[in-house]
Amino acid sequence: MRKIIHVDCDCFYAAIEMRDDPSLANRPIAVGGSADRRGVIATCNYEARAYGVRSAMSSRHALKLCPDLLILRPRMDVYKEVSREIQGIFREYTDLIEPLSLDEAYLDVSDCPHFSGSATRIAQDIRRRVSTQVHITVSAGVAPNKFLAKIASDWRKPNGLFVITPDEVEGFVSVLPVSKLHGVGKVTADKLLRRGIETCAQLREWSKVELAREFGSFGERLWNLARGIDDRAVQTDHRRQTISVETTYDKDLPDLEACLERLPGLLEELGRRMQRLDASYRPDKPLVKLKFHDFTQTTLEQAGAGRDLDSYRKLLGSAFERGGKPVRLIGVGVRLIDLRRVREQLELFN
């Protein structure tokens, strides 16, 4: 049985800004782009969230919700340095660390000797040390697997700790809304709701075959998550799955033709980035991402399609049809095959 801790910093960028400038405490602040340049909120403190401000929201809309909101420019070098300091604390407990971003990570402490192997006490000590050494707060979740640990870390945010023991998994997951399951977005959640499925207990009434028929390859994943099953190991060697480039435009692109005009420039930049890939990756499926003026977005990829301009034009056209609205962001990319992992799997079977 694994012992997994998911650590998530509370409003990370904003917390660092408040730490470095105490006069910002107790007032609504956000870190992000300028409202007059179609900026987007990267994160905000809890005072701002009380007004409805959220990450990925346009700065202009955030100011409408909270006229007193102070939007600060990001200081990425500072945030990266703080992240390295926090990960240094993690490494004193385990080498099995999987960073998900600058402000969150999975830790496998199954073999950690500290505190007689108690994952709960390890998580408590990590939270204490980050608070006293880095002067920001983190929330943590402790569980037998990554799926549950991530849910647990959000359960008592901010500055909280939530533990799901192996004996508690069955009861906890049975009443869990399916919208909390990893990979279940709004579209899938709505599809489940139309079939009368709101909780994992209701999802368990469906067989693997029925779920596969309704949701394809994701159906088996749903079957496992509804039972609290997640066998994914903490990955210490983070490898790319895609390579992409995207641009947010100062003015919305009104139609498909305007989007297609931007495509050659985006593909040129994508080509430059792909040239920097090492030989352990092989390009696979092309993909396109569109974010519409109302912040809804769609991503489309196609197996067997080429990576030439004409193929991307067709993919972009299909993605645009899903929204049919003015576009604020276009992204193009390529799904990657990790040849290193392929070789490892072949060696395992041989």
Which residues form the catalytic set?
Answer: 104
Q: Which residues are annotated as a binding site?
A: 8, 103
Q: Which residues are annotated as a binding site for Mg(2+)?
A: 8, 103
Euclidean distance between CA atoms 78 and 83, whole angstroms: 9
Backbone angles phi, psi at 288, to 5 degrees: -135, 140
What is the distance between the terminal CA atoms of the chain, rounded to a whole angstrom?
28
Among all chains, which residue has been given the structure tokens 């090492």? 278
Structure tokens that stand for 271 in this block = 């080509």
Among 273, 290, 294, which residue's Cα sits nearest to residue 336?
273
Euclidean distance between CA atoms 179 and 162, whole angstroms: 19
Helix (H, G, I), strand (E, B) or coil at 166: helix
Among all chains, which residue has been given the structure tokens 């033709």? 257
CA angle 133, 137, 140 (to 5 degrees): 110
Structure tokens that stand for 50 in this block = 């009380």
